[in-house]
């Protein structure tokens, strides 16, 4: 597996560490449980991180030198991609492992994968995580600088090449499958397999609401609205903040808890401008007492916050899939999400929450009020049922294994398990 900028062991919620990191780590971990030997190659982004981490007999993470061993902007990754690809190739040759297939995540990894399989002569499976053409359309609608156009033109061409030259593309929802087919003009010619992203049901499960509130030190009688994710403009936190003014008119005890953000000074410096923008909105609307920033919270602690919340809001302007809704629903907490991308697949209106118009704080407020009015209990059973039926990592890993077997060349033995 290749996950260029997204170290699977990174602190989730920090700058550029989110859904892809969770996906890669959990997919690899559950594939390992199925007896698959997995190596993950990712960029070595900190000096104090180990080069090789062996999680168990079946799973290893290789950190590959590419650029400085510190934070490096994702959008500049093309500059170090040749070094990244070359050092992966060197590591493979040094380890002398004969892999059965390559699984790439995001377009930089896809470019690296296409180069690697020229020598490896094995199937390549790609997961986009986001599609440049769709993201460009989103940026043009909301915030766009002309100097970004050259970058997106390169990205769109590369993603089209990946689509046409991969052995298969994994789509995380039926919605994304249609988008991929249309965006790259495939007309059904490419092998696109729908396998959703999962949630770890060993960690994310229902907990008693009041017990959770006591643990996280929140009032028992508040109406708690939860946001979990990166502190970026495109995640729609500004829209959520503006919606709170109307929500508070109907539910004066409502409180918004915001989880996410970097731990290191460099990460906090990068987020400073966006946080300043959000703080201006809070001051403008007089929301000071109703909004609390909690910083990054570990995956193991998150279920307590989902359990304490009355609903979780995912107000993104573009979201290819979204893991947060799955985590929330697995804990029995309904979700109000933007009607975009994979969120249209994961959240069932009237059953597991509601969908709101993108970047429309009036509609978002309306949907939040609607869910709070019906109450958490109204949605909880459907939330848990849907995640268990469709989004269990155990079942998703089995689907991947079956699909891998279809692609793997059966006429050659593999020494992938001989670490």
Q: Which residues contact 34 (CB under 8 A, 6 or more apart)?
A: 397, 398, 401
> Is position 381 within any domain?
yes
> How many Å apart are CA 128 and CA 216, to the nearest integer?
36
> Is position 415 within any domain?
no
Digit-by-digit pLDDT tens for the chain (419 residues) are 999 999 999 876 555 567 899 999 999 999 999 999 999 999 999 999 999 999 999 999 999 999 999 988 888 999 999 999 999 999 999 989 899 999 999 999 999 999 999 999 999 999 999 899 888 887 776 665 666 788 999 999 999 999 999 999 999 999 899 989 888 888 776 789 999 999 999 999 999 999 999 999 999 999 999 999 989 888 999 999 999 999 999 999 999 999 998 776 766 777 888 999 999 999 999 999 999 999 999 889 999 999 999 999 999 998 888 899 999 999 999 999 999 988 999 999 999 999 999 999 999 999 999 999 999 999 999 999 999 999 999 999 999 999 998 887 544 444 443 32
> Is position 412 within any domain?
no
Q: Are residues 130 and 260 in the same domain?
A: no
> Is position 418 within any domain?
no
Q: Are residues 192 and 280 in the same domain?
A: no
Q: Are residues 155 and 88 in the same domain?
A: yes
What is the tally of structural domains in the chain?
2
Structural domain that includes position 402: 2-198+392-407
> Is position 332 within any domain?
yes
Q: Are residues 140 and 188 in the same domain?
A: yes
Q: Are residues 103 and 170 in the same domain?
A: yes
Q: Are residues 9 and 133 in the same domain?
A: yes
Q: Quick check: 29 and 53 in contact, CB under 8 A?
A: no
> Is position 417 within any domain?
no
Instruction: Indicate which CATH number applies to the domain containing 278.
Output: 3.40.50.2000
> Is position 61 within any domain?
yes
Q: Are residues 309 and 214 in the same domain?
A: yes
HSE at residue 135, side-chain half, CA atoms within 13 A, is 17
Q: Are residues 257 and 281 in the same domain?
A: yes
Q: Which residues contact 79 (CB under 8 A, 6 or more apart)?
A: 67
> Is position 42 within any domain?
yes
Per-state percent for the chain, helix, strand, coil, to nearest 5: 50, 15, 35
Report the predicted TM-score, pTM, of the whole model to 2 decimal places. Answer: 0.87
Q: Are residues 151 and 162 in the same domain?
A: yes
> How many Å apart are CA 91 and CA 122, to the nearest integer?
17
Q: Are residues 8 and 147 in the same domain?
A: yes
> How many Å apart are CA 308 and CA 389, to the nearest integer?
24
Q: Are residues 235 and 327 in the same domain?
A: yes
Q: Are residues 23 and 38 in the same domain?
A: yes
Give which of 344, 345, 340, 337 is closest to 371, Cα–Cα: 337
């Amino acid at each position: 597996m290749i996950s260029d900028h997204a170290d699977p062991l990174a602190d989730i919620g920090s700058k550029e560490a989110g859904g892809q990191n969770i996906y890669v780590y959990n997919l690899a971990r559950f594939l390992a449980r199925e007896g698959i030997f997995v190596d993950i190659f990712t960029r070595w982004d900190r000096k104090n991180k180990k080069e090789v981490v062996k999680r168990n007999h079946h799973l290893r993470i290789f950190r590959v030198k590419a650029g400085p061993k510190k934070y490096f902007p994702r959008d500049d990754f093309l500059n170090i991609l040749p070094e990244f690809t070359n050092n992966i190739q060197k590591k493979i040759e040094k380890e002398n492992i004969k892999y059965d297939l390559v699984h790439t995540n995001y377009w930089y990894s896809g470019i690296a994968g296409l180069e690697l399989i020229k020598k490896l002569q094995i199937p390549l499976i790609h997961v986009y995580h986001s599609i440049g053409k769709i993201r460009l359309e989103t940026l043009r609608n909301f915030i766009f600088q002309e100097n970004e156009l050259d970058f997106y033109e390169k990205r769109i061409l590369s993603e089209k090449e990946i689509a046409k030259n991969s052995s298969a593309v994994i789509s995380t929802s039926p919605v994304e499958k249609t988008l991929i087919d249309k965006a790259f003009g495939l007309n059904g010619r490419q092998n696109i397999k729908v396998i959703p992203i999962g949630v770890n049901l060993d960690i994310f499960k229902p907990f008693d609401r009041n017990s959770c509130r006591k643990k996280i030190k929140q009032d028992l009688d508040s109406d708690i609205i939860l946001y979990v994710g990166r502190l970026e403009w495109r995640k729609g936190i500004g829209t959520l903040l503006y919606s709170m003014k109307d929500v508070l008119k109907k539910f004066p005890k409502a409180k918004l808890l915001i989880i996410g953000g970097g731990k290191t000074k460099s990460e906090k410096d990068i987020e400073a401008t966006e946080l300043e923008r959000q703080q201006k909105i809070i001051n403008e609307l007089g929301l000071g007492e109703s909004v609390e920033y909690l910083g990054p919270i570990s995956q193991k602690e998150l279920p307590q916050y989902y359990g304490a919340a009355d609903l979780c809001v995912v107000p993104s302007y573009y979201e290819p899939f979204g893991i947060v809704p799955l985590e929330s629903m697995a804990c029995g907490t309904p979700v109000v999400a933007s009607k975009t991308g994979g969120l249209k697949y994961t959240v069932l209106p009237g059953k597991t929450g509601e969908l709101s118009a993108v970047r429309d704080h009036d509609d978002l407020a309306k949907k939040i009020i609607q869910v709070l009015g019906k109450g958490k209990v109204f949605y909880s059973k459907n939330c848990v049922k849907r995640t268990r039926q469709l989004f269990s990592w155990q079942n998703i890993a089995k689907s991947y294994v079956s699909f891998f077997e279809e692609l793997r060349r059966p006429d050659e033995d593999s020494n992938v398990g001989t670490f």
